[in-house]
Structures are given as C-alpha cells and as structure tokens.
Amino acid sequence: MKHTRIAILASGIGSNALALMNHFDGHPTIRTSLLVSNKETCGALLPASKKNIASEVLSNAEIEDNQTLLMLLKQHSIDIVVLAGFLRRIPISVVQAFPDRIINIHPSILPEFGGKGMYGARVHHAVIEAHKKSSGITIHVVNENYDEGHYIAQFFVPVRANDDASSLGHKIRTLEQRYFPTVVEGYINSLTD
Ligand code: GAR
C-alpha cells in the first residue's frame, strides 16, 4: 500500500517533531519522509538522522524564495506538510501547491494570541499578562492568511493564579505531546478515507 508521505518542518527544540516521528515510526499508512529546518541547531535533526529520515536545513532566504522548499517537497513526493514549531512563514507557492495539506500547531486558543510575532514563549507571556483563565493549543490548516485556516482541533488548559509563562509553557507542551500526533493522524485519515 502506498504510504502518505509527510514532511515535518521545525525550528527549535523539536519536541513536537520528535513526537510526530515517534508516533509514525512503523505506521502502516503514514511515513515521515522528510524533516526540514531553518536552524542547524534544531533538536529534531539528530533524532531524524538516527531514524534514517532525510533532513535538510534551509536558510531563511531559501525558505522565502518560493522555489527551494517547494522543489524539495516535490523531490521527496510529499503529500502532507506538518509545521511543528516552525517559526518562518511558509511561501505562498507551497501554500498553493498543498491546499488543505499543511497543518500547523499554535500554542494558544486561536484567534486569540495569534498572528505576527506570536510564537513560542511570547504567546505564554501574553496570555499571563492578559490574566486569562485558560489557554491551550490550536491545530489548524494553513491557508494564505496563516493563522486563519480552519481549525482541526483545540484543547484547553486552565491558567491558575500562580502560573507564570514557564509553568504555562510546560502545561502547553504536555497537551501538544498528548494530542498533536493523533490529531495529525486523524486528519490525514479523513483526507484519504
Ligand atoms: C510549540 O509550543 C509550538 O506550539 C509553537 O512553538 C513551540 C515549538 O516547540 N509554535 C508556534 O508558536 C507557531 N506559531 P518544539 O520545537 O519543542 O516543538
């Protein structure tokens, strides 16, 4: 049976990329076929190489140029792109070539605390400063207006009076690890059913 081939794009620690790679290890129908990062230091690169998953580090200029990333995805016959803490904007050429086929995870309940400049710990700081009573994660499809693609799933956590950005970040990571891989799997299955 032909596998659905996913490319994971990651920039930082890589905990979400690693959770995805682990989840799809030996999966009967879905394969992690490529890891792309814009950082040599991305924590997902070493685990990818240990798992014999192809990986590429592209410069920010290459990511933005509308050709390099698209060609790389085509070379690896990628069906689905998963943004797992990828902190650069995806070029329009890629968005158009993968309609409803790019999934992003965002560490807040969108549409709140989304948009330009809102990523990683910045989001948690903003949630704490706004005295919100809850936060969470949004897993969504990427369209031409980045954070505005349709939501696949949202999961909430309470924000307690004694939480700070660091403790909130910890709760969010726990949610991400628990739900992101299975939601990605469910979404892919819904496309191929
Ligand atoms: C994750 O919390 C992810 O939700 C967030 O960056 C972190 C990456 O962590 N993504 C965004 O903020 C996208 N706007 P990781 O490198 O350990 O997966």
Question: Domain with 151 in it: what CATH number?
Answer: 3.40.50.170
Q: Which domain holds residue 158?
A: 4-192
Which atom in ligand 1 lies closest to the alpha carbon of residue 172? Answer: 2
pLDDT at 145: 73
Tell me the two tokens of residue 186.
């469910």
CA of 75 to the centre of ligand 1 (A): 26
Among residues 23, 27, 76, 106, the one annotated as catalytic is 106
Pocket of ligand 1 (CB under 6 A): 10, 12-17, 84-85, 105-107, 119-120, 123, 172, 176
What is the reported pLDDT for 193? 66
Q: Which parts of the chain are beta strand (E)?
A: 4-10, 30-37, 54-57, 80-83, 102-106, 134-141, 151-158
pLDDT in tens, 58-113: 999 999 999 999 999 999 999 999 999 998 989 999 999 999 999 999 999 999 99
Residues 6+ apart with CB under 8 A from 109: 134, 135, 136, 137, 138, 154, 156
pLDDT of 98 reads 96
Q: Which regions of the chain are under pLDDT 70?
A: 1, 146-147, 193
Q: Is 106 an annotated catalytic residue?
A: yes
**Contact assessment for residue 6 and residue 81, using Cβ atoms and an 8 Å cutoff:** yes
Which amino acid is residue 38, in one-letter code? N
Q: Which residue lies with its CA nearest to atom 1 of ligand 1?
A: 85
> Half-sphere exposure (CA, 13 Å, Cβ side) for 73?
26
* Tally of domains within the chain: 1
pTM: 0.96
Nearest CA to ligand 1 atom 8: 85
